[in-house]
């Protein structure tokens, strides 16, 4: 007798998106979700937090009354096309927030995502995570700010869906987040930070 299996094999320890959200909403720590797997997110250094605070305050002040708002790393982003649930360091959302459900805690439409790079997240944020973020149709800019040296990478989506990279490596540099038409000085972002 021949055994025939019509259903695909279930991944070992596979977790559905529904189970992830149910447990994540009760969890004390944050976790990413991708294609049935859950990954714990680590905490951040004092340097990371200082750079985040410098930038987040600057963005918040400059965006006041402009129809776009910045959100910190407690706002969960979901990308339906590839199943990723994650918590970017900073998300800027312009217009109405688009939520995944009536819990109002997971959005799908960031216009700008900013990640602060550390030695432990650098490769993921610059590689696989950026590939996954490109599936967000509303995303226009992806900005990476290094916490180990003075370096900002700005990726902007072109009309043909390709991405253009511009680097900023001097404390005297400034860069513009084109989506919100605001400029930021690297000396303000890195204020209070020393690199030895």
**Which domains, ranges and CATH numbers included, belong to the chain?**
43-189 (3.90.1570.10)
| Alpha carbon 103 to chain centroid, angstroms | 20
pLDDT at 5: 46
Give pLDDT < 70 ranges for the chain: 1-12
pLDDT at 1: 44
CA angle 78, 84, 89 (to 5 degrees): 70
Query: Does pTM surpass 0.95?
Result: no
């Amino acid at each position: 007798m021949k055994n025939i299996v019509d259903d695909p094999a279930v991944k070992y320890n596979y977790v559905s998106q529904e189970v992830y959200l149910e447990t994540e909403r009760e969890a004390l720590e944050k976790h990413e979700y991708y294609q049935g797997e859950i990954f714990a997110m680590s905490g951040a250094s004092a340097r990371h937090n200082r750079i985040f605070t410098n930038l987040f305050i600057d963005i918040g002040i400059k965006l006041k009354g402009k129809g776009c708002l910045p959100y910190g790393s407690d706002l969960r982003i979901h990308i339906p096309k590839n199943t990723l649930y994650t918590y970017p360091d900073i998300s800027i959302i312009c217009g109405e927030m688009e939520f995944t459900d009536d819990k109002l805690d997971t959005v799908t439409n960031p216009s700008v995502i900013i990640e602060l790079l550390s030695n432990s997240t650098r490769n993921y944020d610059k590689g696989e995570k950026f590939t996954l973020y490109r599936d967000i149709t509303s995303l226009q800019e992806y900005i990476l700010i290094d916490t180990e040296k003075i370096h900002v990478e700005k990726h902007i989506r072109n009309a043909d869906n390709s991405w253009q990279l511009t680097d900023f490596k001097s404390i005297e540099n400034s860069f513009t987040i084109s989506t919100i038409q605001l400029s930021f000085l690297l000396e303000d972002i890195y204020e209070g930070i020393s690199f030895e």
